Amino acid sequence: MITLFNFLPIKSGGGQQVATNFLNIMISKDLLNNSYFIVTKDTHVDFILANANLKNVIRVNPSIIARLKFETIDVARIIRKNNIDVVYTMFGPSLLRSNCTTVVGCAYSNIFYPEIPFWGSHNWLKRAKFKLIDKIRLKKTLSADGIIFENLSMQTRAHELYGYPLENTCYIPPSISAYSFTKNNSINKNQYVRSSGYNVLFFSGWHKNKNIELTPFIILELKKRGIFDVNFVITVSKDHPSSIALFNHAEKLGVSENIIFIGPIPPEETENLFSQIDAVILLSLLESFSNNIIEAWYYKKPLLISNLEWATSICDDAAIYVSRNDPQDISNKIIDLTRNPQKSERLIMNGLKKLTNFPSPEQKVKEQLRFIKKIYESKTIK
């Protein structure tokens, strides 16, 4: 079975960490036979493959035109030329159909929760644009021969809402980063945050779903309560237009000194970053899952998360739930954490217990490969 692994949609964020885990296991366990790879040029995933000196790597320029040309013209030729049997797209919609088997990993939570106004905070033009993109993503995802989910609810909804065959789906929970199980002496011990104060981590890129824009208002509420040493550490560049807008607004409110933009963090620096923070916050409206959750548990940090069905179904008693649009509620929960170390310890212990239900990085990779093979064989028999 010759497999083409498609990492083209993965450029940053949590998907990059998942792809990094996958490739590190594939390389270290010598699972690369009969494998080809598609990556976006100059991404971290590209760097890993280049560092491993792999030959069967197709690199695509990051421009929209280059990607469209590749997906509509070039990929079919590559599949024919190399006798590809299976195309596995780790995160993202399936490539255009061909004679080969297609399997996708799906993290587009909003296409399976149509009742949630996921794009509601955007103007009507952007909403129309994003909804059109969602329709295309849904169609291409459902066109795949097999779908891997990391969320049981999404797996069920794919069948109940869209009639996708359950036997062609697979639920594989996330795993913690493979870097967490190794000691890399080459890692630069960057100092990301202030050593004093209580540092709360927003480990995310810019997306309205994440609700990072609420940060200045949370800090303002904290200061009204006499709490001046809580800092928010945000993993986006300070030069991003949204960062500049947020920081300018924070300056007007007099809270900018408590916001720290540290920029994107490479996966191998995750452990170092978590050693410098005190808590993790995730205010998303919707997620399929989030690395923030499992990393907070693994690195023994209390987690504050949106009090919504997607989050409570994952975290149970291993998180503090907050009203995602209420700065006062969020600030109260943060203050409670800072004043009650026993509560933090209890959350940490509950998180460690939850971790026992998740696979190791190697187990997860093997489950993915097993499912890909199952879908290929079932289609071949037909």
What's residue 188's pLDDT?
Answer: 54
Say if residue 280 is in the same domain as residue 371. no
SS3 6: strand
pLDDT digits (tens, 9 = 90+) for 177-193: 655 555 554 445 677 78
What's residue 186's pLDDT?
Answer: 42
Say if residue 195 is in the same domain as residue 81. no
What's residue 185's pLDDT?
Answer: 45
Q: Which portions of the chain are predicted below pLDDT 50?
A: 185-187
Q: Are 239 and 266 in contact (CB under 8 A)?
A: no
Say if residue 151 is in the same domain as residue 261. no
Say if residue 141 is in the same domain as residue 199. no
Say if residue 281 is in the same domain as residue 243. yes
Q: Are 77 and 63 in contact (CB under 8 A)?
A: no
SS3 101: strand
Say if residue 227 is in the same domain as residue 329. yes
Bridge-based pairing state of the strands 101-106 and 146-149: parallel
Quick one: CA dihedral 219, 271, 294, 122, positive or negative? positive
- CATH number of the domain that 33 lies in? 3.40.50.2000
- 295-306 burial, b at 16+ Cβ within 10 Å, e below that, comes to bbbbbebbbbbb
Task: State the pTM of this model.
Answer: 0.81
What number of residues does the chain have?
A: 382
Say if residue 33 is in the same domain as residue 140. yes
Q: Are 110 and 284 in contact (CB under 8 A)?
A: no
What's residue 180's pLDDT?
Answer: 54
- Domain range enclosing 293: 183-355
Say if residue 195 is in the same domain as residue 110. no
What's residue 382's pLDDT?
Answer: 60
Say if residue 337 is in the same domain as residue 375. no
∠ CA 240-245-247, rounded to 5°: 95
Residue 91 tokens, joined = 């995160």
What's residue 92's pLDDT?
Answer: 80
Laid out side by side, the sheet with 320-322 consists of 259-261, 230-234, 198-202, 279-282, 303-306, 320-322
Say if residue 203 is in the same domain as residue 344. yes
What's residue 95's pLDDT?
Answer: 76
What's the domain count of the chain?
2
Say if residue 122 is in the same domain as residue 106. yes
What's residue 296's pLDDT?
Answer: 94
What's residue 42's pLDDT?
Answer: 87
Say if residue 142 is in the same domain as residue 197. no
